[in-house]
Structure formats: C-alpha cells, structure tokens
Amino acid sequence: MKYGGNVEGPMMDAKAKPMIADDHLARQRLRMWLQMLKATRLVEGALRERLRSRYDTTLPRFDVLSALHAHPEGMKMSELSQYLVVSNGNVTGVVDRLVLDGFAERGAVEADRRAFLVRITDKGRTLMDEMAAEHLAWVDELLADVSEADTARAISIMLDIRHRK
C-alpha cells in the first residue's frame, strides 16, 4: 500500500540477497521483536529479584520446579528441556542442584534404562504450593497494564510464533 516494496521484475534476486517481501512490514516485525525482548527481560528481572529476596532461589530453578509441580507423574529430562525451551545440558545442572537440595528426585523409567523420570518431592511440593501463589500475583502485577482482550491477543500471537517452528 505505502509503496511497492521489491517488485518481482526480471533481473531481481540475482544476488540472492535476503528475501524480504515487504520492507516496511519486516521493519515493523523487527521493532516488535526488540520490544518483546526488552519486555521479557524486564519481567524476568523483576521476577528474579523477587524470587531471590523472598525465597533465596533463582529463575531457572523455579521454572523447572514449576514444570515438575505441574506434572506430578514426573517428566523425563528431555521432556523438561523441550517444555522449557532450553538445552539438554542445561537441565542436567539445574536438576542436579534441585536434587541436591531435596526438592526433586530422579527415578528410573521402566523399559528404558537411558532415561530418568524426574519428580518433585514432598518438600518441593510444599515449597511450590507457596511460591506458585505468589508468583501468580507477581505476574498479575507486572502485566497489570495489559487488558484481558490484549492478553488473549498476545497469547494467540505468541502461539503463532511458536507453532511456525
């Protein structure tokens, strides 16, 4: 609408340059990505600080424990890393420390001796019951300026991004 963008005439893409259909839209998407990144970091920072001062724990530990809390039947290491969108080796270290502190435990998986079934312990569950409620309130506060309609829209947009894969 604004302007034609890259016209698909002959003699084009001879240089095999990055293919962008609509330059204006591309820049708009870049702005969105930058804002997304900053907003995410801001919220992460606020949550991290509260987790530290209130529970003397870290964000990754909370994330893993939260995932285990939501899956009482246990999760395999690989399921955890996929669920949290982090690398495999990463989960190993965080789970190690959680096990060390008695918040989680590694069990065997029948029929596959390579895998572990990580489960939250009673001690971990007790802690998470308390933390989860507060975490919910924190997120509610940090996103307080986002209306219900915008929340739904944002969820939909994020899913669009994720499911492109």
Partner DNA sequence: CTACAATGCTTGATACATGAAGTATGGCGG
Partner DNA sequence: CCGCCATACTTCATGTATCAAGCATTGTAG
Site string (56-95) toward a second copy, x via CB under 8 A: -----------------------------xx---------
Is residue 90 a contact point for DNA (CB under 7 A)? yes
Asked if 44 and 100 touch (Cβ cutoff 8 Å), the reply is: no
Phi-psi region of 131 (alpha: psi -120 to 50; beta: other; left: phi over 0): alpha
Residue 148 to residue 53: CA distance in whole angstroms: 30
The residue within the footprint of a second copy, chosen from 41, 52, 54, 123 (CB under 8 A), is 41
The residue within the footprint of DNA, chosen from 5, 22, 55, 58 (CB under 7 A), is 58
Backbone angles phi, psi at 159, to 5 degrees: -65, -35
Of 3-11, 13-21, 43-51, 127-135, which segment contacts DNA by CB under 7 A? 43-51
Is residue 109 a contact point for a second copy (CB under 8 A)? no
3-state class of 155 per DSSP? helix
Q: CB pairs under 8 A, 24+ apart, for 159-163?
A: none
With DSSP H G I counted as helix, E B as strand and the rest as coil, what are the percentages for the chain, rounded to 5? Answer: 65, 10, 25
| Nearest distance, CB of residue 110 and a second copy, angstroms | 30
The residue within the footprint of DNA, chosen from 5, 36, 43, 48 (CB under 7 A), is 48
| Nearest distance, CB of residue 85 and a second copy, angstroms | 4
Is residue 107 a contact point for DNA (CB under 7 A)? no
Closest CA to 100 of 73, 121, 76, 78: 121
Backbone angles phi, psi at 105, to 5 degrees: -145, 150
User: Residue 16 has which token pair?
Assistant: 């095999």
Residues near DNA, by CB under 7 A: 41, 45, 48-49, 52, 58-61, 76-79, 85-97, 106, 109, 111-116
Residues near a second copy, by CB under 8 A: 17-20, 25-33, 35-45, 85-86, 133-140, 142-146, 148, 150-155, 157-164
